[in-house]
Structure 1
Amino acid sequence: MDTRRLRFLLELSRLGSMRAVADVLDTTTSTVSQQIAVLAKETGVPLLEPDGRRVRLTPAGRRLAEHAVTILAAVEAARVDLDPGAEPAGVVRVAGFGLAIRRSLLPVADLLASRHPEVRLVISEHEPGEALTALLADDIDLALTYDYELAPATAGPSVAASVLWTTPWGLGVPAGDAHRVRADGTLAVFRAFSHHDWIGNSRNNADEEVVRTLASMAGFAPRFTHRADSLELVADLIAAGGGVGLLPMDRPTRPDVTVVALAGPDVLMRAYTCVRRGRDAWPPLALVLDLLRHGWSRGSGRGGGAASGPVIRAVPGLRCPGSG
């Protein structure tokens, strides 16, 4: 069984179309079709079946693609072991939230293009739950997720997760209302805005869970009226009188919005790299993880928009609860 043909099959299982495989592997769709047809003859089972005008993998094809991950990873590992200077090669599929993509992944993509051109990234923006679902379905190789210390996430036993960085968050309020805070401490800040409307995240409940927890400790139930993924939109809603909401402390915002520090208890976001257990030995993925963990990052914020800020405190060895 030719490992080159296994790569064609694996990329088809990942990318979903022969044209996409041809683009990634710099060949033609007819070559992709021919190589997979030869692979089917070698294995003696149909690997593809019609799906409208396209094709999809048969159950046997999907099983072989799963084996291909292990086989190709073992081949790559053996090649690197015999030749430590060998260049990793392959397509790494990544899904993550906007902050991690802009701040940590895009600098890695730039570095790969200049120093490791045989390793390519396919990037999708997803909230943590969506990214983990895709990871468990083997639709991606790497998920960039986040949680808060006050709202820890559970990734599951089949996922290995490591903290990439942490960053403090505060409460975004209209600049003209910042004078309401007359005492130090998170609970005092929350009480000062207990009668305001609150802004949450539309696709992930971690922010609301943090707000509800702190509001309960402060003696009230928050009233959520708006929900948004983009930090720019959260700030715009705050400035327009739509309420108050969590925003990062280390990221510039609008001049008519003030981010009030929250301390005691602190509100810390934790960003994670998540992979399926045993997959991080695959050389292209191992390279990407190594670059991410060694601080190739820029910008800040949960959602859209580039920004700059201070170096974020690293927490070595910390893992998502439940992820081992």
Structure 2
Amino acid sequence: MDVTRLRLLVELERLGTMAAVAEVTGMSTSAVSKHLAVLERETQVRLLVPEGRRVRLTPAGQRLVEHAVGILERIEAAQAELQGDTTPTGVVRLVSFVSAATAIALPAMRQLRVDHPAVDVRLIDLEPEPALAALLSGTADLGIVYEYSLVPRTVPERLNRTVLGDEPLYLAEPARSESPAAQGRQATRARLRSLAKAAWITNSQGSDEDELVQRICVTAGFTPLIRHRLDNLDLHLDLIGAGLGVGILPQLGLPDGGEPPPETRLTPLGALGGVRRVFLVARGGEWSWPPIRTVARCLRQSATRVLASPESDSSAH
């Protein structure tokens, strides 16, 4: 059934005559009559009967008006919600890698609970590649993912991204290891070469971390020996502190406050390592839905407290 015809039927019940309906809708009386005749054919029920020079609604017509009022109210409510004219309401399934979930998503969710309690955020822990797959399949609505500036990530065409910010990368090694560079200064190729025989640590999920370590070490003239693959960053730091490996850690991967355990030394990689860029991803066209727009805004605000502003990003939506 056409919404316009339902609206005309409701107006006829309210105003009493087709002439009055024509006046308020800007249609001709004959156009109103034709629309209502089509509505009768669509419903296959007699909705109007003549009564002198006027018409009156049959019991079926009156019942359809009752349904139509509810239908039109729901349509208007949906339009208002989609246009942002009402309080954002709905479920947003948010996928995020662990360190961003802790540092960015959780503070945003706490704020949303206060400011927008009708927005129900459901957090799912996923690394970037499975997160993108979840967004493409429709099992997630919004994602926090990352890429390394030395290892750019390709985002499928159906998805749009907007950057949250950048974070620096650090060379992490046992504090007791000998170093030709003072702590706090940027790592040098000479420092990296001294770790050519060390056991390097990367992530077990995906190849980004492998590629990053390979590229950084190749600039220092050696191929790293990747011996450990760990997803838990606390275990990553424990292994390094125990003298059993070295690795590369992003800022968000550090303990609260950004200070490493005393048995672990961090040296900024600077230009040798580039940055890890964090961004939001959603399916094209969904950014305008008020709950997603609201969650994205809170995530951006949260990210400004822990990430640096990106230098540039040509792929942001």
Could you say what secondary structure the match of 2:302 adopts?
Answer: coil
Q: Cα 1:244–1:185, aligned 2, differ >3 Å: closer, same or farther?
A: closer
Percent of aligned pairs with the same amino acid = 32
Which residue does 1:165 correspond to in 2? 165
Which residue does 1:267 correspond to in 2? 274
| TM-score normalised by L of structure 2 | 0.69
**In 2, are the aligned partners of 1:142 and 1:273 still within 8 Å (CA)?**
yes
Which residue does 1:89 correspond to in 2? 89
Which residue does 1:148 correspond to in 2? 148
**In 1, are the aligned partners of 2:181 and 2:187 still within 8 Å (CA)?**
no
- 1:79 Cα offset (Å): 3.8
Aligned partner (choices 246, 261, 267) of residue 254 of structure 1: 261
**In 2, are the aligned partners of 1:93 and 1:140 still within 8 Å (CA)?**
yes
Asked which structure has the greater CA Rg, the reply is: 2
Count of matched residue pairs: 238
Q: Cα 1:258–1:160, aligned 2, differ >3 Å: closer, same or farther?
A: same
Q: Cα 1:316–1:149, aligned 2, differ >3 Å: closer, same or farther?
A: closer
Amino acid at match of 1:187: R
Could you say what secondary structure the match of 1:91 adopts?
Answer: strand
Superposed, which structure 2 residues align to 1:65-144 within 5 Å?
76=78, 78-79=80-81, 81=83, 84=85, 86-144=86-144
Structure 1, unaligned runs of 5 or more: 2-71, 299-310
Q: Cα 1:243–1:312, aligned 2, differ >3 Å: closer, same or farther?
A: same
Aligned partner (choices 284, 287, 301) of residue 294 of structure 1: 301
Aligned partner (choices 261, 266, 283) of residue 276 of structure 1: 283
Determine the C-alpha separation between the residues in 1 that align with 2:121 and 2:97.
15
Determine the C-alpha separation between the residues in 1 that align with 2:77 and 2:222.
58
- 1:153 Cα offset (Å): 0.4
Could you say what secondary structure the match of 2:271 adopts?
Answer: coil
Matched, 1:233 2:228: no
Q: Which moved more, 1:205-214 or 1:130-139?
A: 205-214
Which residue does 1:190 correspond to in 2? 192
Determine the C-alpha separation between the residues in 1 that align with 2:79 and 2:114.
23
Which residue does 1:64 correspond to in 2? none
Which residue does 1:57 correspond to in 2? none
Superposed, which structure 2 residues align to 1:192-211 within 5 Å?
192-211=194-213
- 1:280 Cα offset (Å): 0.7
Which residue does 1:33 correspond to in 2? none
Amino acid at match of 2:200: W
Q: Cα 1:179–1:108, aligned 2, differ >3 Å: closer, same or farther?
A: same
Determine the C-alpha separation between the residues in 2 that align with 1:88 and 1:279.
14
Q: Cα 1:174–1:79, aligned 2, differ >3 Å: closer, same or farther?
A: closer
Superposed, which structure 2 residues align to 1:44-55 within 5 Å?
none
Q: Cα 1:256–1:139, aligned 2, differ >3 Å: closer, same or farther?
A: same
Could you say what secondary structure the match of 1:281 adopts?
Answer: coil
**In 1, are the aligned partners of 2:277 and 2:310 still within 8 Å (CA)?**
no
Amino acid at match of 1:220: F
Could you say what secondary structure the match of 1:176 adopts?
Answer: coil
**In 1, are the aligned partners of 2:186 and 2:267 still within 8 Å (CA)?**
no
Root mean square deviation, CA, Å: 2.6
**In 2, are the aligned partners of 1:107 and 1:297 still within 8 Å (CA)?**
no
Q: Cα 1:237–1:76, aligned 2, differ >3 Å: closer, same or farther?
A: farther
- 1:74 Cα offset (Å): 9.9
Determine the C-alpha separation between the residues in 1 that align with 2:192 and 2:76.
53
| TM-score normalised by L of structure 1 | 0.67
Q: Deviations over 1:111-154 (max 9, x none)?
A: 11112111011111010001001000000001110111011101
- 1:239 Cα offset (Å): 1.5
Determine the C-alpha separation between the residues in 2 that align with 1:216 and 1:238.
21
Q: Cα 1:267–1:253, aligned 2, differ >3 Å: closer, same or farther?
A: same
Q: Deviations over 1:178-235 (max 9, x none)?
A: 5244796442231121111100101132122111011112111111010111211111
Could you say what secondary structure the match of 1:269 adopts?
Answer: strand
